Amino acid sequence: MKSHTHLFLLGIAVFSFGCASVSVRKTAFRPGLKPTTPGKIYVRPFILEGLRVDREGAELEIFAAEFQSSFSGKLAEYLGKNIAPAQAIGTNVPVPRSNAWLVEGSFQRLHQGSRALRAILGWGLGGTKMECSARVFDLRQGRREPFALIETTGGSNAEPGAIFGGPFGAAPRLVVTSVTSGVTADSRRTARMITAALSEYLANANAPLPTKPMRVKRLGEVTGANPSPEPGR
């Protein structure tokens, strides 16, 4: 019985840390700037482009609005805790020219996948896919162009599902998948990685932070190219 208990707990640990991941794919900061901690950070709703979920019509509009609001809140929460006081604002709310940052962005890919397939079969079946790009503006210089570009990518589910988990893996897999996978969990990881990239940027310049620098999980190389705004900005 004791060995079975150990196997059960090991299964939970493996699935908890292995079933989902979001990484920073690329960061670019404008050269020649001295990084300084802002006094305030504003977060606008991120644009949803490659949206693929199991909703249509009015339900899709409600989902999109709720996701945007939830993500803005999560990102503002992480930024407020780890960098500077942050506030989620509306798309058209004006921001003052001040010692503050404005964070905008878009999700180029947001696929909901299938929670049932993730939990039961796994191995990538039913997995979520999330690709995000964030742009950060220094409002002391107006809103001419961003000084930072951060791209993230990731999703849920490269692990085996319940039917491949064996007698001591099936139950933990079903429970953990219901909590740690899906667009809600992945959006939280995305918000954390955007914040981590900015935390590291400031820490490397010895700028003051309210917490220890966050760890950035990277995918590929980090570039130093000058980020440019989207057309028309």
Length in residues, the chain: 233
Amino acid at 129: K
- The DSSP bridge partners found for residue 132 are 107, 152
Mean pLDDT by 10 residues, the chain (233 residues): 43 43 94 93 95 86 94 98 98 94 96 54 62 96 87 73 45 39 87 98 97 90 46 35
In a domain, 74, yes or no: yes
Number of domains composing the chain: 1
In a domain, 152, yes or no: yes
In a domain, 99, yes or no: yes
In a domain, 194, yes or no: yes
Q: What is the pLDDT of residue 20?
A: 62
In a domain, 28, yes or no: yes
Spatial contact of 106 and 48, defined as CB atoms under 8 Å apart? yes
Q: Provide the domain limits for residue 198.
A: 22-114+125-158+188-204
In a domain, 136, yes or no: yes
Report CA-CA distances (Å) from 105 to 16, 46, 108, 146.
Answer: 29, 5, 10, 11
Please tell me the distance from the alpha carbon of residue 42 to that of residue 90, in angstroms, as a whole number: 10
In a domain, 175, yes or no: no
CATH number of the domain where residue 78 is located: 3.40.50
In a domain, 165, yes or no: no
